Amino acid sequence: MPYASVLYISAKFGQGVEKIMPQVGQVYQGRLERIPTTAVNSVIQQAVAAHNLPRMGSKQLKILYATQAEVNPPTFIFFVNDARLIHFSYRRYLENKLRQSFGFVGTPFRLVFKTRGEP
């Protein structure tokens, strides 16, 4: 879980215990954060411009748009031309770009890829 912070504490000596509750509060706030669709799409467009989209044969992935559908846990839905074209490494790349831009420290989130016209 590279997105999670590590706190070094000692219950025996009480060292670092005062850092727990502020960290819990920060994680909880990140979990409830709602990002506007325009901001999500801006980050995704920059990520796509910096790193080419995956291709399988003659078909290339196209990300039409992305939006945050839910909070707690934050869920981002990507509408694409063909969801089968998304590779796990490109999924991780997009997740890292979203984390760099919006934080979400200590909070897992979901990325859902839907093919255009899919319910």
pLDDT for residue 78: 94
pLDDT for residue 66: 93
Q: Would you call 106 exposed, middle or buried from its count of C-beta atoms within 10 A (0-12, 13-18, 19+)?
A: middle
**DSSP, res 83:** G
- The label of the residue with tokens 């859902």 reads 112
Q: Which residues pair with 66 in a beta bridge?
A: 78
pLDDT for residue 91: 93
Please report the domains of the chain, with CATH numbers, ordered by start residue. Answer: 17-115 (3.30.300.20)
Using an 8 Å Cβ cutoff, are 27 and 107 in contact?
yes
Q: Whole-prediction pTM value?
A: 0.83
Q: Looking at 20-119, which runs of residues are DSSP E strands?
A: 55-56, 59-60, 63-70, 75-80, 110-115
**DSSP, res 44:** H
Using an 8 Å Cβ cutoff, are 114 and 79 in contact?
yes
- The alpha carbon of 112 is separated from its chain's Cα centroid by a whole number of angstroms, namely 10
pLDDT for residue 46: 94
Using an 8 Å Cβ cutoff, are 111 and 89 in contact?
no
Which parts of the chain register pLDDT below 70? 118-119
pLDDT for residue 54: 84
pLDDT for residue 119: 65
